[in-house]
Amino acid sequence: MPDKYSGEKPARRTLTAGTIVLALIAAAFGYVLASRLDGLMADKNGVVRRFFVMNTEATITIPAEHGSRVSAEKLADIAEEAIREVNRLMSPVGEDSDVVRFNQAESGQWVAVSPSTWTVVMEGLRWHRLSEGAFDPTIGPLKRLFTFDRREALAWPAAEDLKDAALRVGADKIDFEREGMLLSWKRDGMKLDLGAIAKGYGVDCAIEALRKNGVANAVVEVGGEVRTLGQKPGQILPTPWNAGIMNPRGEGTIVISNISDKAVATSGDYASYFIYQGERYEHIIDPRNGVPLSQGVASVTVIHPESCMSADALATTLSVLGKDEGAQFLREQALGLFNNGVQVIMLIVQPDDAITRIDYAIDSQGEFTEKESVAEFLIFGAAAQQDDKEGENAADGE
Count of residues of this chain found to bind ligand AMP when the rule CB under 6 A is applied: 19
Alpha-carbon 121 to chain mean position = 16
Q: H helices of the chain, where?
A: 3-6, 17-41, 72-90, 98-104, 115-130, 140-143, 159-167, 198-212, 308-338, 382-389
What residues contact 144, with CB distance under 8 A and at least 6 apart? 165, 191
- Angstrom distance (rounded) from CA 156 to CA 170: 22
Residue 215: C-alpha distances to residues 46, 48, 68 (Å): 12, 15, 5
Considering the rule CB under 6 A, would residue 267 count as an interface residue with ligand AMP? yes
For ligand AMP, which is the closer residue by CB, 65 or 204?
A: 204
Considering the rule CB under 5 A, would residue 312 count as an interface residue with Mg ion? yes
DSSP-derived letter for residue 325 is H
From the list Mg ion, ligand AMP, none, which binds 262 (C-beta under 5 to 8 Å, kind-based)?
none
- Angstrom distance (rounded) from CA 300 to CA 347: 6
**Dihedral-angle region of residue 146 (phi above 0 means left; psi in -120 to 50 means alpha; beta otherwise):** beta
We find the least distance from the C-beta atom of residue 337 to ligand AMP, in angstroms, to be 17
We find the least distance from the C-beta atom of residue 4 to Mg ion, in angstroms, to be 48
DSSP-derived letter for residue 248 is S
Q: Which of 99, 121, 142, 196 forms a contact with Mg ion (CB under 5 A)?
A: 196
We find the least distance from the C-beta atom of residue 197 to ligand AMP, in angstroms, to be 7
Alpha-carbon 52 to chain mean position = 16
Considering the rule CB under 5 A, would residue 398 count as an interface residue with Mg ion? no
For ligand AMP, which is the closer residue by CB, 244 or 287?
A: 287
From the list ligand AMP, Mg ion, none, which binds 78 (C-beta under 5 to 8 Å, kind-based)?
none
What is the contact mask toward Mg ion in residues 95 to 124, using x (rule: CB under 5 A)?
------------------------------
Considering the rule CB under 5 A, would residue 316 count as an interface residue with Mg ion? yes
Considering the rule CB under 6 A, would residue 320 count as an interface residue with ligand AMP? yes
Stretch that binds ligand AMP, among 97-105, 161-169, 190-198, 321-329 (CB under 6 A): 190-198
* Site residues (vs ligand AMP, CB under 6 A): 135-137, 139, 143, 193, 195-196, 267, 283-285, 287, 312, 315-316, 319-320, 398
